[in-house]
Amino acid sequence: MAMLTMPVSSEGQKSLASTLDIYVFPTAGQDSKQQSTDEASCYSWAVSNTGSDPFEVSRQAEQHAQQSASSQQQASQAGAGSGARGAFRGAAVGALIGEIADDDAGKGAAIGATAGLLRGRRLGRQEQARAQQQAQQQSQNQQQATAQQMNSFKRAFSVCLEAKGYMVK
């Protein structure tokens, strides 16, 4: 089985198209220098027509991935301390009710603290789940937008090269 290799310029560097995972084959006898010139021209044309520079889009995607990881980390911390806050509130309400009901604020506070703790933990878990879902949705939306920009650029770049007599895959 023959092995495919990336097109390289005479200086041993990958061609512009190959860095974008696009394979360009000259069909009209173009040499590597002409192909490199045509690729640069089509690159500029595609950037101006799509408004997307794939190298800038890739850089932004990396930044968004880092932000997404940070958001996921923050989402995992959402709701932290909810049980303690719930217990505190429950104890306060329980003490008040216990004092009014049977002159035993301590017993009411203990019951209220337990109920508040359970409610607080449940609300904390719900808050954490909502925060994680939101962070995940934002990440997915950004990935889709990046993919759409890259696909749009690659289509424009390919059309330009095909018009210049290259087969593009």
Sign of CA pseudo-dihedral 6, 10, 16, 22: negative
**Alpha-carbon dihedral sign for residues 63, 69, 131, 77:** negative
Q: Which of 149, 119, 135 is nearest to 65 (CA)?
A: 135
Q: How far apart are CA 96 and CA 94, in angstroms?
A: 5
pLDDT in tens, 13-58: 778 888 889 999 999 899 999 999 999 999 999 999 999 999 898 8
Q: Is the pTM for the entire model greater than 0.85?
A: no
CA dist 98 → 65, 88, 115, 139, 145 (Å): 52, 15, 14, 49, 57
The Cα–Cα gap between 135 and 15 comes to 37
Residue range 74-128, pLDDT digits in tens:
766 666 666 667 666 766 666 666 666 666 677 666 766 677 667 777 777 788 7
Q: What pLDDT is stored for residue 67 in this prediction?
A: 79
| Per-residue model confidence as pLDDT tens digits over 127-149 | 878 878 887 888 888 889 999 99
pLDDT at site 44: 95
Supply the pLDDT for residue 80.
Answer: 62
pLDDT of res. 166? 95
- Write down how long the chain is: 169
Q: Report, as an integer, the average pLDDT of 136-164.
A: 92
Residue 8: pLDDT above 60? no
pLDDT for 76: 65
Helix or strand or coil: residue 103?
coil
pLDDT for res 45? 96
57-84 confidence digits (pLDDT tens): 888 888 877 877 777 777 666 666 666 6
DSSP per-residue letters across 6-52 = --B-TTSPBPHHHHTT--EEESS---HHHHHHHHHHHHHHHHHHHS-
Cα 90 to the chain's mean position, in Å?
40
What pLDDT is recorded for position 128? Answer: 77
